[in-house]
Amino acid sequence: MAVTPISRTVVITGASSGIGKALALRYARDRAAVLGLLGRSGGRLQAVADECRRRGAVVQTATLDVRARYEMEQWLQNFDTNTPIDILIANAGVMAGRHLDTDIESSPDSYALLETNVLGVLNSIQPILPQMMARRRGQIGIMSSIAAFIPLPDAPSYCASKSAVLTYGLALRGALRKLGIGVSVICPGYVMTPMTQQESGWKPFVIAPESAADAIVRGLQRNRSIIAFPFLFALLTRLGGLLPNSVQRWTVPRFTVSERAQKDAE
C-alpha cells in the first residue's frame, strides 16, 4: 500500500492524558505544524498544548465532552474551515469494569461508557466527513482496543464499545477508499496510562504511551486497516478470540479489569 507523507494538521480527541497526550507530543515533534487538541480537563490540556508549542507546533485547544454532539460539530467544522484537517484521531475513551465487590459492571458506568466510546467516536468523525470527502483527502484513526477481539466477562460494555468501533471503522474504510480517505482502526494492548493504572489484574506486554504513539503514527502513515500492537499480544488475542466460547472461558479470567481505586477505598 502507498506510503502517505506525515500531514500538517492533526486533530486528537482525548489529548489531555495518556495515549492522546503522547500522540500530540509525537506529532508536535514531527512535521505536523498545526494541532487541534480536545479533552475535558482544561488544565491538563493546556499543559500538553504548552509543551507542543515549545516543540514548534501551532496549537488550538477545546475543552469539550465528546458526547456533546452539537458542540463537537461546531468546533470541528470551524477548525476544519480555517485549517483543513489531514489526520483526525478519535482517541477519547473511558474504561469501566466490574468492581471488586460486585459480579457485573454498574449500569450507569455501562451507559456512560457506550455514549463516550461509541457515540463520542461518531461525534468526532461525522462532522468533518463531508469536507474530507469534498477534498478527497484525509486520514482517520479510530481508537479501539485488543479488547475488541476477545470478550472479557469483567468488562462487557468496554469490549462491546471497542468491537463496535472496530467494525464501524473497517466498514467506513471500505466506503471511503474510493474517495481517497484512509481509515485505520487502532487496537493497542496494555499501555501504561492513568486508565490502566486504575485497573487491577495482570497486564501482559504492557508498553509506554510513547511507544504506542510511535506505532500509531507509523500505522496511520501507512494507512493500515488495523494498527494492533504489541505484535505478539495482538496475535495471541486475535487467535484467542477464535477459540470456542467454552475454551475461552478458561483463558480469559486472568484479564480482570476491576478498579484498583475501589480496592484502595475499602
Ligand X SMILES: NC(=O)c1ccc[n+]([C@@H]2O[C@H](COP(=O)([O-])OP(=O)(O)OC[C@H]3O[C@@H](n4cnc5c(N)ncnc54)[C@H](OP(=O)(O)O)[C@@H]3O)[C@@H](O)[C@H]2O)c1
The type of residue at 76 is: L
Q: How many residues does the chain have?
A: 266
Cα dihedral 101, 105, 111, 116 sign = positive
- CB nearer to ligand X: give 16 or 184: 16
Known catalytic membership, residue 27: no
Select from 37, 94, 172, 220 the one that contacts ligand X (CB under 6 A).
94
Decide: is 140 part of the binding site for ligand X (CB under 6 A).
no
Rounded (5°) CA angle 22-219-197: 35
- 91 near ligand X, judged by CB under 6 A: yes
In whole angstroms, what is the distance from residue 243 CA to residue 64 CA?
40
Q: Is 29 in the site for ligand X (CB under 6 A)?
A: no
Other CB atoms within 10 Å distance of the CB of residue 142? 26
Smaller CB distance to ligand X: residue 44 or 137? Answer: 44
Question: 3-class DSSP state for residue 236?
Answer: helix
Q: How far is the CB of 84 from ligand X (least distance, A)?
A: 23
Which of 31, 41, 78, 235 contacts ligand X by CB under 6 A?
41
Residue selected from 7, 17, 163, 221 as contacting ligand X according to rule CB under 6 A? 17
Note whether 127 binds ligand X by CB under 6 A: no
Q: Other CB atoms closer than 10 Å to residue 5's CB: what's the count?
A: 8
- In the list 87, 191, 220, 257, the residue contacting ligand X (rule: CB under 6 A) is 191
- Which of 92, 132, 220, 252 lies at the binding interface for ligand X (CB under 6 A)? 92
List for the chain the helix, strand, coil content (%; round to 5).
50, 15, 35
Distance CA 251, CA 223 (A): 33
Q: Which residues bind ligand X (CB under 6 A)?
A: 13-14, 16-20, 39-41, 44, 65-67, 91-95, 116, 120, 143, 145, 188, 190-191, 193-196
Active site (catalytic) residues: 158
